[in-house]
Amino acid sequence: MAAGSDAPAALPPARLARLKRSRRSASHLPVALRTKALAQLLHHHSPEPGSTTTTTAPGLPSPAPAPPAGDPNGDRVELALWEAEAAPEPAPEAGPGCEELTLDHLLEIVAQLEYHTHPEDGVEICPLFLLGCCFSGACCPQHHTLLPYHWQLWQTASLPPGWLSVGPEAHETLERLYSDPERTLVRASYRGVAFDIDLVAMQPFTQSIEAALRRGQEEALCSTAKHSYQLNLRAGYQRNLATGTVRPLRARPAFRAPALLLPELRTLSGSLYLGPPPAPGPPLAQPYPETWVPLTPEQDWHQAPVAVEERGYRLIYGLFHKSLPESRYRLERVWRVQNPFLWDKYKRKQSHMSRQMSPEQRLRNERHLFHGTSAGAVPAICKHNLDPRLSGKHAALYGQGSYFARRASYSHRYAPPAEAGLRHVFLCKVLVGRSALGQPALRRPPALDPGDPASDLYDSCVDSLSDPQIYVVFDNDQCYPYFLLQYRELEEVVTVD
């Protein structure tokens, strides 16, 4: 919780402001109250030996490891997304005796979830409050905040001076920027006055570690107001001298988005957008995904919001941010595209292609790939699908078909911002089958046997046979616009009031 300079908040441009980042207390959370870990495929920054200590809060489960970087769309991704859509997570059951809650009990629960912060220095976030079980209420000496991190600005206008919480939208943005080890300054504004935030000055052990490295030391001793640590710079870990707790060294804390913290924190339950209720209509017959909501007879297609509680949302979030860092981009919303006509065409094509495939080939046949587009093209794609006949608008290096990418960062190039800065990328189901190396003049995949006029064709074209990153298909029944992702770039100046 170290801060920058002692300058007040209202400063002239290019001066430093004093900000404080609070984290949850170091006390251990009850094991019985911990929920299951996040999905296996979420991406988190790896620890770097010799970096400064992390302020990632203890107690909550650590993020599960991500798959190898060379295969972000590997078989585990396909299987996990398929399972998430085929078997959605059941709604949590009510606890024992919930139907017998009295008014006193309800008022007690409400009191437990009341938010408050303190203006004094040295205050941490209450870990029990995050799990909905702090019985001290307003008398708790620790912060009661929505998230396990909280940002405050030093305020000198009040008497006595103290720490003032930044605006609700600024907490997550500041945390995203702070989690980027390459960023040293953040441009911000408070009541129309611009100032800089020195992120390096907020790391209390930076100077001690740099001095130890210059002297060639393998270990260093550092202390905060409450704890002392032994830092092993060679092995890349820190050890609390009082408790013996060992944690990896990191340049900055790994960012944890509210959507991914939702399964773990009671403070977030019901606080995020869940979307409108399902449209009225008869239940959808199989083989449509079980996550689809009913459609009316007049609806050809429908966009249904994917709730942040769903496992599929967390998988998509991790896949999207593998190549578009959370410190620069914010995933605003995910929509599930429901089009029975296009789905039937896609499934018939998949069945036809699978007839001569082994079980392993069938699993690898379907990939989930990104396709960037403009906001104006979204309704047409949801209704009519991607049209290979429109290829060439952004060049056609590997054939004149519909282009898909394994990484969202490639599709981002073709997703221009709309008026509000919102960008649109589809996560599509694509039947890639057997792939050939693409060429600009191809209007269909090449023949498997060029000497046979009746030869079967390859199913798709790629940019590389050894490590394909781009796929091209020439028939629109080989793809389905499965999810629509809306996102935006973070603003250069963070408004903290």
Tens of pLDDT, residue by residue over 285-323, are 567 888 999 999 899 999 999 998 888 999 999 999 999
Predicted local confidence at residue 304, as pLDDT? 95
What order of strands is seen across the sheet that includes strand 185-190? 193-198, 185-190, 493-495
Phi, psi dihedral angles at 144 (to 5 degrees): -110, 100
Q: Which two tokens stand for residue 449?
A: 């046997």
H helical segments located in 16-137: 75-86, 103-112, 127-130
Quick one: tokens of 458? 């390859």
Q: How far is the C-alpha of 44 from the C-alpha of 26, rounded, in Å?
A: 21
Handedness of CA 243, 244, 248, 251 (dihedral sign): positive
Question: For residue 421, how many C-alpha atoms fall within 13 Å in the half-sphere facing its CB?
Answer: 9
For the chain, list residues with pLDDT below 50: 1-16, 26-73, 92-100, 270-278, 280
Q: What pLDDT is recorded for position 44?
A: 28
Q: What is the pLDDT of residue 224?
A: 73
What is the per-residue pLDDT for 285?
Answer: 54
pLDDT of residue 393: 67
Per-residue pLDDT, 41: 23
Question: Looking at residue 110, what is its pLDDT?
Answer: 55
The Cα–Cα gap between 132 and 53 comes to 28
* Cis peptide, bond prior to residue 287, ω within 30 of zero: yes
How far apart (Å, rounded) are the C-alpha atoms in residues 485 and 367?
Answer: 17
